[in-house]
């Protein structure tokens, strides 16, 4: 028997309760990356916040973007990035997912979320922003571009990967990083965290050849 | 015993073999959404292409963005979106993941990837672009903003959700869509596809309250 399908028009979406809509629309784009962004103010106060609007921008140079809502709790992170230019992206794994989510609480600016949630800032030589010591995959980023999106006032922050640390065993011979083996968490909606299981890798597609599985 | 960690500097990243770097950097941002984008040219030729640089932009209005590399196979999709304003985002599930990946082959502009890979274009009343009939979650999008990213020449396309279709049973009471239950696939790197297993949903975080799990 066919599955029962529900259809929504834009008008129906706009008439939803605001919280319902936020959860619904945040879900519809599919699974998302989720990272902890570590920053430090010029005055030396650390900040840590969970973000799930991450997007790959390019490999040469290595660029990753993320979306910030300027009126939100994410504002402290944005301020630190704009004033210091440096930040870190730290993958989540199962043991730190609850602490990561807790960083989304509206802590006062004077409180470090590292302390509040029980994660450890780690510094690396020559890099201003704190990494999350407990994270297995850590990226040190430098701000490269800030773009205000006219359509809704959100901001796209693009940074360059200045350094990357990850477990040797998850790096494959062709450069692929086995995030499932690393235990990296995916997110969906506003508040859902997921483990993943690799289904398949496929070879580079060509019009007249069948795909092969990359083992 | 501690895991062996490998550190890469930007210089080391830039000196990698180009294909190795593409796979490596595409992996580092974490798990990604992956969708099939369906379009139709003004002349009526359909196009279908797999994209994994999707990003949530906002809920009110409901906006989703994606990144296009203008010199790539993705160009046909971009041309159709710019000339017609309409496109569809279609989630992948296990039964169509191989066909989805195959759409990334460099088919001639005169060939419809729907035909080439064996997926079915589906039209809905009043909507110009074709949906993927086999997809369980289907979004009809209207182009709202096109932003060229100076830093590497890629383009951010932002669209508004004009209509959404999904199985009733995966929509929860608070608006959350259970993508794991829907069988939606996540991606990583350039060519890896993943099933997910929901670990937990957490309640809205507050500074002085413990998190609860949302069942």
Per residue in A32-59, pLDDT (tens digit) is 999 999 999 999 999 999 999 999 999 9
Does the pTM exceed 0.95?
yes
From B122's Cα to the closest Cα of chain A, the distance in A is 15
CB contact under 8 A, B186 and A204: no
Q: Picking from A8-12, A120-124, B68-72, B118-122, which range would have the lowest pLDDT averaged per residue? A: B68-72
Scanning every residue of chain B, which has its alpha carbon at the shortest distance from the alpha carbon of A167? B5
Whole-number Cα distances in Å, A54 to A47, A50, A91, B2, B99: 18, 11, 11, 29, 26
pLDDT along chain B (215 residues), means of 10: 89 98 98 98 96 97 95 83 98 98 94 97 97 98 97 96 98 98 98 97 95 93
Is residue A127 scored above 60 in pLDDT? yes
Determine the Cα–Cα distance for residues B177 and A16; give it in Å rounded to an integer.
14
Predicted local distance difference test score (pLDDT) of residue A75 = 85
Residue ranges of domains in chain B: 31-194
Domain covering B31-194 assigned CATH 3.40.30.10 in the classification: no
Whether residues B16 and A192 touch (CB distance < 8 A) is answered with no
| Chain B residues near residue A127 by CB distance under 8 angstroms | none
Chain B residues in contact with A169 by the CB 8 A cut-off are 3-4
Count A/B contacts: CB-CB distance under 8 Å: 387
Give me chain A's average pLDDT, please: 96
- Interface ipTM: 0.97
**Per-residue model confidence (pLDDT) at position A3:** 81
| Residue A99: per-residue pLDDT | 97
DSSP string, chain B: -PPPEEEEEHHHHHTS-HHHHHHHHHHHT--EE-EEEEEE-TTS-EEEEEE--EEEEETTTTEEEEEE-TTSTTHHHHHHHHHH-EEEEEE--GGGHHHHHHTTS---TTS-HHHHHT--EE--TT--SPEETT-SSEEEEEEEEEEE-TTTS-EEEEEEEEEEEEEGGGB-TTS-B-HHHHT--EEETTTEEEEEEEEEEBPPP-TTS---B--
State the Cα–Cα distance between residues A50 and A68, nearest whole angstrom: 11
Q: What fold does the segment set A30-194 form as a domain? A: Pnp Oxidase; Chain A (2.30.110)
Task: Give bridge partners of residue A158 from the DSSP assignment.
Answer: A65, A145
In this prediction, residue B75 carries a pLDDT of 85
Tokens of A156: 């796209």
Please give the structure tokens belonging to residue A192.
């859902």
Looking at residue A70, its pLDDT comes to 79
3-state secondary structure B5-24: EEEEEHHHHHCCCHHHHHHH
Check CB contact under 8 Å for A24 and B171: yes
> Mean of the pLDDT values across residues A98-105?
97
| Residue B60 to residue A18, Cβ atoms within 8 A | yes
């Amino acid at each position: 028997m066919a599955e029962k399908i529900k259809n929504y028009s834009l008008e129906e979406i706009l008439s939803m309760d605001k919280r319902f809509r936020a959860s619904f629309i945040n879900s519809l784009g599919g699974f998302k990356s989720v990272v902890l962004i570590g920053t430090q103010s010029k005055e030396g106060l650390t900040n840590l916040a969970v973000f799930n609007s991450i997007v790959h921008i390019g490999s040469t140079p290595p660029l990753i973007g993320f979306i910030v809502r300027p009126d939100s709790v994410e504002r402290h992170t944005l301020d630190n990035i704009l004033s210091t230019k440096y930040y870190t992206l730290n993958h989540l794994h199962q043991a730190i997912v609850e602490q990561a989510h807790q960083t989304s609480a509206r802590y006062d600016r004077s409180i470090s979320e590292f302390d509040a949630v029980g994660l450890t800032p780690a510094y690396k030589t020559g890099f201003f922003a704190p990494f999350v010591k407990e994270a297995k995959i850590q990226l040190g980023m430098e701000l490269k571009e800030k773009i205000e999106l006219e359509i809704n006032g959100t901001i796209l922050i693009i940074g360059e990967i200045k350094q990357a640390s990850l477990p040797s065993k998850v790096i494959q011979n062709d450069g692929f990083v086995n995030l499932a083996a690393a235990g990296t968490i995916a997110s969906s909606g506003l508040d859902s965290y997921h483990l993943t299981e690799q289904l398949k890798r496929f070879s580079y597609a060509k019009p007249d050849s069948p795909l092969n599985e990359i083992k």
